[in-house]
């Protein structure tokens, strides 16, 4: 009765709602559940991954965020669109959350110890663009780290 196997078989135990952790996943989870946004995930460009690894090790995340905003303003057709960003990990402490309700695009950079599991998730407010697909294509593995 009190064993792990018994709890696993018990539908009451199995169907209890999971507690949402109060970490970086809160903003990310809210975006995933927000019906105003559509999203896609892709791998993270290797150059971006290295910049964000430095942030994980103690570099100032605001410096990386300023670089992203600078490169964002240079993008044709997107530079004037409100954009937010989140740096985080799948589980654990949020490194940076610069989002607001006005953001038409939110870029989430999810860092993982394994390079292949580092992801860029792009969220686009559904009514902001004639073609969300074109925006997703433009931002696929976006390398904002280059000069």
> Which position has the higher pLDDT, 30 or 121?
121
DSSP string, the chain: --SHHHHHH-HHHHTSPPPPPSSTHHHHHHHHH-TTEEEEEEEPPHHHHHHHHHHHTT--HHHHHHHHHHHHHHSTTTTTS-EEEEEE-SSS--SEEE--TT-SEEEEEE--SSGGG-EEEEEEETTS-S-HHHHHHHHTT--TT--
pLDDT of 22 strictly over 90 = no
Q: Give the tens place of pLDDT for each residue, 34-80.
A: 888 999 999 999 999 999 999 888 888 998 899 899 999 998 888 88
pLDDT band at 94; cut points 50, 70, 90? confident
């Amino acid at each position: 009765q009190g064993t792990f196997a018994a709890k696993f078989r018990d539908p009451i135990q199995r169907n209890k709602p999971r507690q949402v952790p109060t970490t970086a996943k809160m903003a990310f989870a809210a975006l995933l559940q927000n019906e105003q946004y559509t999203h896609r995930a892709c791998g993270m460009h290797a150059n971006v991954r290295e910049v964000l690894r430095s942030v994980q090790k103690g570099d100032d995340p605001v410096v990386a965020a300023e670089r992203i905003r600078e490169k964002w303003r240079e993008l044709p057709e997107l530079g004037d669109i409100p954009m937010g960003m989140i740096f985080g990990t799948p589980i654990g402490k949020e490194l940076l959350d610069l989002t607001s309700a006005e953001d038409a695009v939110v870029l989430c950079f999810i860092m993982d110890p394994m390079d292949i599991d580092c992801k860029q998730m792009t969220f686009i407010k559904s009514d902001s663009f004639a073609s969300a697909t074109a925006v997703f294509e433009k931002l696929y593995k976006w390398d904002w780290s280059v000069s």
